[in-house]
Structure 1
Amino acid sequence: MTFNEKVYAITGLSGIGLAVARQLHEQGARISLADISDAALQNALAQLPNVNTNNTLTTVVDVGSAAAVNEWIDATVRHFGRLDGAANMAGTIGSKHGIEALTEQDDTEWDMLLRVNLTGTMYCLRAQVKAIQNTSQTGSIVNAASILGIRGLGLHAAYSASKHGVVGLTKSVAKEVGPSIRVNAVAPGATQTPLLEKAVAIQEKAISMPTVFPRVGTADEVAQSVLFLLSDASSYTTGTVLNVDGGWDP
């Protein structure tokens, strides 16, 4: 897997996105980092050795804004001269994640989850495809789905619907832009990230995991799968969703 001097755009700089950024940086990639939180971006920079303007760009971006996403990708191309791929890892959960039925669903929160998790991924994917087509011509993009984008789970309707949408988006766009650009997704199970910690706090209990491995996954484990899909090692793989879930029961 060769990433040296290639340019990648990454969203969501906590949890999995941070692990992806760290691993790509370690392998010599140039990275453009985007997060709605400047604190998350500064934390990411603090964890990356030998950071300079030649290899790293940071931008505060709300992925739910098409204008903000377009400006970020345009700035990335101006700064680095090209775009070779992207890892769209930004996402969120609702304030009643895992404890509220659809009959109690708040409309504003539903709209927020779809805007960030699904529409935000679409905005990023659209801008990134255009940038790759206009610069490097070939590339690879990986989106963050979820185990809940593969299967339904009670009390998670909004989040699950948003991630099912990411799966459909990934599979459809892969057909449009292949073979020059590959588009895939990862579907993590329970993974030790700030979002999992938030979910545990909301539910006031550990997350139930019907998995082969009796533990949660790590962000680095999921990031390794993202890097595989970004790399030429997966050159014959597109439109797929790679489950990284510890063997979650079907």
Structure 2
Amino acid sequence: MGEATVPGTVTGSAPGAGEFRFDFTGKRVVITGGSRGLGFEMARAFSLLGAEVLIASRRLESCEDAARRITAETGGAVHARSVRVTDWDEVTAFAEVAWDVLGGVDVLVNNAGSSPLYDSIIGIEEALFDKVLGLNLKGPFRLAALLSERMIDAGMEGSVVNISSIASLYPKPATVPYSAAKAGLNAVTVALAHAYGPHVRVNCVVPGTFLTDVSKHWDMGAFEQRAQSFAMKRGGDPKEIVGAVLYLSSSLASYTTGTLITVDGGAPA
């Protein structure tokens, strides 16, 4: 496989420039929610740059299909497993499976998440509230803690990248449980960075509005009008999340931990 480039790759021809390239050869990466959208682009990028990747989501078939597509393009090893991130015990078992399948984990990307719609705040049911917190906060916390402990026990240096949301910083009435969960994930990021440093770095990417498959159900005319208030005047392409995730996962971010990087096209509060 030749030299791969993806958005955000730092390249150059001067002596020593190689140390400023993203190179994940020999690295083992776990990505939850990796079968589509932002997660799929992350998995594809890591594979292009030499990593062995394990993608997981609730639907095994979707993960297997994504893995086949990425391997067909990159020639890299991409594994597929299922996990319900909302289930504490299932996440615990999955951490062991992921470690065994890859022979260790160097990078965890906690990308799985969702923000279900509801008719009114007072109409939010307990089951929905619990599910949103489980998927966006409880599961990522548990998986990050388990794999960070394993990294340290193995004498490794690793990286955890949590995927939050701009809704964590600017909550709206339509995203109350989701905003609360992602705000909690921001806090967990900082706490775990202190708990597991200096050997495991824990950081967070805070995406704004990206045009994933979910956006196919939007009123695009209304969105395009709203996007005129963004500095970039548009929504993000899923590939545009890749640079921040690769940076935080790489040795180029060796002195970066406990931080939040916002990737939102300059969206207003």
* Superposition TM-score, scaled by structure 1 size: 0.90
Asked if 1 retains the 8 angstrom alpha-carbon contact of 2:64 and 2:79, the reply is: no
Q: CA deviation at 1:46?
A: 2.9
Asked if 2 retains the 8 angstrom alpha-carbon contact of 1:84 and 1:136, the reply is: no
How do 1:225-240 residues align onto structure 2 when only pairs under 5 Å count? Answer: 225-240=244-259
- Alignment of 1:206 with 2:223, yes or no, is yes
Q: CA deviation at 1:54?
A: 8.1
Alignment deviations for residues 15-58 of structure 1 (CA, whole Å, 9 cap, x no partner)? 11111100000111011111101232023123213599982221
Q: Distance in 2 between matches of 1:62 and 1:79?
A: 18
Q: CA deviation at 1:173?
A: 0.8
Report the equivalent of 2:213: 194
Report the equivalent of 2:100: 78
Output the amino acid matched with 1:75: V
Report the equivalent of 2:5: none
Q: Distance in 2 between matches of 1:37 and 1:83?
A: 22
Q: Distance in 2 between matches of 1:2 and 1:39?
A: 29
Report the equivalent of 1:49: 71
Output the amino acid matched with 2:192: V
**Greater relative contact order structure (CA < 8 Å, 6+ sep):** 1
Q: Distance in 2 between matches of 1:53 and 1:193?
A: 25
User: Can you give the 5+ residue segments of structure 2 that lack an aligned partner in the other structure?
Assistant: 1-21
Query: For the aligned residues, what is the CA RMSD?
Result: 2.3
Q: Distance in 2 between matches of 1:163 and 1:87?
A: 15
Decide which moves more: 227-236 or 206-215. 206-215
Q: Distance in 1 between matches of 2:109 and 2:133?
A: 19
Q: Distance in 1 between matches of 2:130 and 2:214?
A: 19
Report the equivalent of 2:198: 179
Q: 1:249 to 1:27 in 2, by over 3 A?
A: same
Output the amino acid matched with 1:2: D
User: Can you give the 5+ residue segments of structure 1 that lack an aligned partner in the other structure?
Assistant: none
- Alignment of 1:20 with 2:37, yes or no, is no
How do 1:1-250 residues align onto structure 2 when only pairs under 5 Å count? Answer: 1-13=22-34, 14-50=36-72, 55-96=77-118, 100-197=119-216, 200=218, 206=223, 208-209=226-227, 210-250=229-269
Decide which moves more: 70-79 or 115-124. 70-79
- Aligned residue for 2:116, secondary structure, equals coil
Identity within the alignment, %: 27
Q: Distance in 2 between matches of 1:29 and 1:175?
A: 27
- Aligned residue for 1:141, secondary structure, equals strand
- Aligned residue for 1:161, secondary structure, equals helix
Q: Distance in 2 between matches of 1:137 and 1:218?
A: 34
